[in-house]
Chain A
C-alpha cells in the first residue's frame, strides 16, 4: 500500500509539469492583452508598451515560463497583474466558499443519492424507481442556472426565507454560513444527485442478480443486510468512481452556481482572471485545479484497494 502510494505520488509530478506547460502556452497563445485591460480605454500605444514591459510580457516566452516555474517550485505562484497581490493570497481568500459549497453539496448528495439508488434498485420497476429515473432525467437536462433562479424566486423572493446572493465566512457563525449556502448547494446537489443515484441504482441492481445474493437470501439473512452488506459493498467500486468524477466535475461546475448566487469563490475568480487575461492568476488557479483532480484520482484509486481485496494482491 505504501509503495503504491509513493509510486502514485511520484507519477503525479510529470502530469503536473505537462499541465503547467500547457497552461502557460494556452495563456500566452490566446489573443488578448492584459496591459490593454489594465490601462483603460483612453491609454495611448506608448502607455500600453510601457505596461507590457513592466509586466515582463516583452521577454522571450522561455524566460517567462522559466521564471514562473522557478517561482512555483519555491511555492510562489506569482503576483496578479491587476491587483498587485500574490496569487496565493487571492486564491486563499476565495478557496473557502468553493470548498464549503463543494463539500456541502457532495455530503448532501451522497447522503441522499446512495440510499435512493439502493432503494430504487431494490424496488426495480416500482414507483420509487420510476420517480428517481424521472428526477434523474430532469436533474441532467435542466441547466444549473435555471434551477438556481427558480429556487431563488421561490425561497428568496416569494417566501423571503433565504438570501439571494453572497457568502458568509464560517468564522462568522455556522448559521449565517449555512443560510447563504442552502440554495446554491441544493441547486448543485440536484445535478449530482441525479448522476450518483442513477449509477448506484444500476450497480446495485446488477449486484442483486448475482448468485451470492441468492445464496445470502436463502440463508435467511435480513433484506437490509443483503442490500447494504452484500449488494452495496460489491457495487461500491463504480459508485466510488462516479463520486470521484462527480467531485472533480463539481470543482469546475461551481463556476455557474457561484455566478448565479454571487459567491466569491474560485469559480468566479477563474472567470474574472480569464476575462481580464490575468496570466499569473489563471496559471495559479488552473494548476491548483489540476492538483485537486490528480489528488481525487489518487484517493479513488486508494479506495479501490480498501474495497476490493483482489486489487491489493
Chain B
C-alpha cells in the first residue's frame, strides 16, 4: 500500500512539475522571440529574391548606403564619397573600424568582390556593371568606381533595399560563383548568425554583434545607427496562423512579424497585444500573357483592366477594411513617384466601356486561362472574383485550379494557353519592389527577354533608359509619370490594391520597432 502511494505521489508530482507554468528567467540575457513571415531555407540573399532571405541578410550584413524613412539615400558603411563633375568617377571611403564577424577588417577588396557578385544577379546591378569601366581599390578603405557613361542611379543601386540588396561579404565568400549558394554566413552587420543553432523549419538564432559600431545618426529605415538592444534574437518558425496567435497570447513569442488576415480581429481585441509598424506594406497586380490572344492585342488587355474592381477584389482577399486600400497608381501610396496620372485606369469597374473596347478590338471570344492557386491562402480569393468581373466585361474565362508551385512553373511556359500555357494570373509585391520603375520586375517591354507575360513595348523601354540617365529629382518624377501612363496604354501591369501588413507584439515587452522599407530588427527594446 505504501508503495502504491509512493508511486502515485511520484507520478503526480512528475505530471504537475511538467505541467507547471513556465516562469520567466530573471536577469538572464534579453531574448527577442519572433515569428518570421516564413521559414528561412535559403541563406544566400544574392542567390534568391525571397523576402525572408533578404531580412536575414539585413540582420547579418551591412550595405554601403541605406534608405531612410523618407526614402532618401544615406551613407551607411561609407563615411564619405564624391563624384566628378561629369558624374563618371565616384570615390568612396569606408568608415573606420568596420569588422566582419570573424574579426577581419572590411576592406575595399571585400566591397569590390561583393558588388561584382551582386551585379551579376540583380537587374539594376547588371545595368550598373554594364555601365562600369572599372571598379578598383585605391587603398584598403577607399575604392573608385569609373563609369563608361553617366549613370543616374549609382546611389540608388548601392542602397537598393530589394529585391537583391548589395550586401557586403568577405572577399573569399563573395568570390563564390553567382550561380552557387554561399556556405559561409560571415557578415559585418549588427547581428551574428548562429550556424550551430540553425534548424530550418524550427528555429533561426542570431546574437548581438558586440563589435558592431553603429553610426551616430538616429536609426531611420536601413540608414542611421543600427543599435541592437537585445542579446539574442530567435526566429521561431510557426506556419499555422492559429498557432501563432495562441503562442503570442500565451507569451511564448514576443512578436508576429506578419499577422494573417484571419487572425487580425482576434489579436486586435486582445489587451495583451499591440500592433506595431515593422513590415512594409505591399500590393497585388494582375499580369497578362501578351504573347497570345486575346491579350496580344493591347486594346483587349486594356478592356481587362477596365473590368477590375479593386474594392471588390481586396475585400474578398483581405477581409477587413483595416487591412487594405485601393490605389490606381503603379507606385505605392505615399512614395515619391506615386501619381494620379493613371490614364483610363481607375481601379473601378467600367464594364460598358470594356465591352465597347472588346467589340472595337474584334475580340473573338478566345478563352482567358486564369490561373487559380486554390490552396494558396495569400492569393486564393482573388481569381474567382476576377473571373466574375472579366465575365461581366464580356470575356470568356477559363479559370483553372492549381497549387502555387504549379502556377509559378506554368507562368514560365511560353506555349499557347490551349497547350498548357496561360492567359492571366495575380501575384503580390512588396513596397520596395515597385517604389521605383527600374526596380519593378514585371514592368518590362523587352518581349521574351522580360518578365512573365513578355510584353513588347519599345516606348516603355526608351522611357526607362531615360529614367536611368536622369540626374535630377524633377526629371525622374516626370519620367516616372510618363512610364506609368505608358504602362496603362500598353496594358502591362494592373495594380489591384495595397495590403497593409500588421505586426503583432506583446504590449508589455516590445518597444522601439523601426519603420523601414524592409523588415529590420535593430532598435527594438525588450522589457
A160 CA / B246 CA spacing, docked (Å): 11
Q: Is B252 an interface residue (CB 8 A)?
A: yes
Known: A32-B406, A157-B249, A182-B18; 10 extra A-B contacts, CB below 8 A, are A33-B405, A40-B49, A41-B429, A84-B42, A156-B250, A161-B21, A163-B22, A164-B246, A165-B243, A264-B203
Q: How far is the CB of A30 from chain B (nearest CB, A)?
A: 8
Q: Which of A20-70 contact B (CB under 8 A)?
A: 31-34, 36-46, 48, 50-51, 54
A277 touches B412 (CB 8 A): no
With beta carbons under 8 angstroms apart, the residue of A45, A84, A161, A260 that contacts B240 is A260
Q: Is A86 an interface residue (CB 8 A)?
A: no
A41 touches B49 (CB 8 A): yes
Contacts of A178 in B (CB 8 A): 14, 18
Known A37-B405, A269-B201: A43·B49 in contact at CB below 8 Å = yes
Contacts of A46 in B (CB 8 A): 449
Q: Mark interface residues in B231-260 (1 if CB within 8 Å of A CB, else 0).
A: 000001111101100110110100000000
A291 CA / B98 CA spacing, docked (Å): 52
Q: Is A262 an interface residue (CB 8 A)?
A: yes
Identify the 9 closest CB pairs spanning chains A and B, nearest first: A40-B49, A33-B409, A42-B441, A32-B405, A264-B202, A36-B408, A31-B406, A164-B246, A82-B41
- Which partner residue on chain B sits nearest A30 by CB separation? B406
A93 CA / B202 CA spacing, docked (Å): 10
A39 touches B405 (CB 8 A): no
Known A157-B249, A260-B243: A41·B41 in contact at CB below 8 Å = no
Q: Is A298 an interface residue (CB 8 A)?
A: no
B408 touches A37 (CB 8 A): yes
A41 CA / B440 CA spacing, docked (Å): 11
Q: Is B265 an interface residue (CB 8 A)?
A: no
Q: Is A90 an interface residue (CB 8 A)?
A: yes
Q: How far is the CB of B202 from chain A (nearest CB, A)?
A: 4
Question: Which residues of B come within 8 Å of A, CB atoms?
Answer: 14, 17-22, 39, 41-42, 48-50, 123, 163, 179-181, 183, 199-203, 236-240, 242-243, 246-247, 249-250, 252, 402-406, 408-410, 412, 414, 427-429, 433, 441-442, 448-452
Contacts of B179 in A (CB 8 A): 50-51, 54
Contacts of A85 in B (CB 8 A): 200
Contacts of B448 in A (CB 8 A): 45
Q: Is A275 an interface residue (CB 8 A)?
A: yes
B451 touches A32 (CB 8 A): no
Known A33-B409, A38-B48, A41-B427: A261·B243 in contact at CB below 8 Å = yes
A-B contact pairs, 25 of them (CB 8 A): A31-B405, A36-B405, A36-B408, A38-B42, A42-B163, A42-B441, A42-B451, A44-B449, A44-B451, A45-B448, A46-B449, A48-B412, A82-B42, A94-B202, A149-B242, A175-B17, A178-B14, A179-B18, A259-B239, A259-B240, A259-B243, A262-B236, A262-B239, A264-B199, A269-B201
Q: Is A276 an interface residue (CB 8 A)?
A: yes
Contacts of B18 in A (CB 8 A): 175, 178-179, 182
A272 CA / B405 CA spacing, docked (Å): 12
A178 CA / B414 CA spacing, docked (Å): 54
- Which partner residue on chain B sits nearest A85 by CB separation? B200
- Which partner residue on chain B sits nearest A175 by CB separation? B18
Known A149-B242, A262-B238: A31·B49 in contact at CB below 8 Å = no
Q: How far is the CB of A302 from chain B (nearest CB, A)?
A: 32
Q: Which of A67-112 contact B (CB under 8 A)?
A: 82-85, 90, 93-94
- Which partner residue on chain B sits nearest A259 by CB separation? B240
A39 touches B49 (CB 8 A): yes
B19 touches A272 (CB 8 A): no
Q: Is A252 an interface residue (CB 8 A)?
A: no
A152 CA / B246 CA spacing, docked (Å): 8
Contacts of B405 in A (CB 8 A): 31-34, 36-37, 275-277
Contacts of A175 in B (CB 8 A): 14, 17-18
Contacts of A43 in B (CB 8 A): 49
B250 touches A164 (CB 8 A): yes
A269 CA / B39 CA spacing, docked (Å): 11
Q: How far is the CB of B185 from chain A (nearest CB, A)?
A: 12
Q: How far is the CB of B200 from chain A (nearest CB, A)?
A: 5
Contacts of B203 in A (CB 8 A): 264
A160 touches B242 (CB 8 A): no
Q: How far is the CB of A204 from chain B (nearest CB, A)?
A: 26
A259 CA / B242 CA spacing, docked (Å): 10
Q: Is A242 an interface residue (CB 8 A)?
A: no
A260 CA / B180 CA spacing, docked (Å): 36
Contacts of B180 in A (CB 8 A): 54
Which of A32, A90, A94, A164 has the most CB atoms of chain B within a 10 A radius of its CB? A164
Q: Mark interface residues in A161-198 (1 if CB within 8 Å of B CB, else 0).
A: 11111110000000100110010000000000000000
A84 touches B246 (CB 8 A): no
A142 CA / B406 CA spacing, docked (Å): 32
B250 touches A157 (CB 8 A): yes
A163 touches B252 (CB 8 A): yes
A70 CA / B167 CA spacing, docked (Å): 39
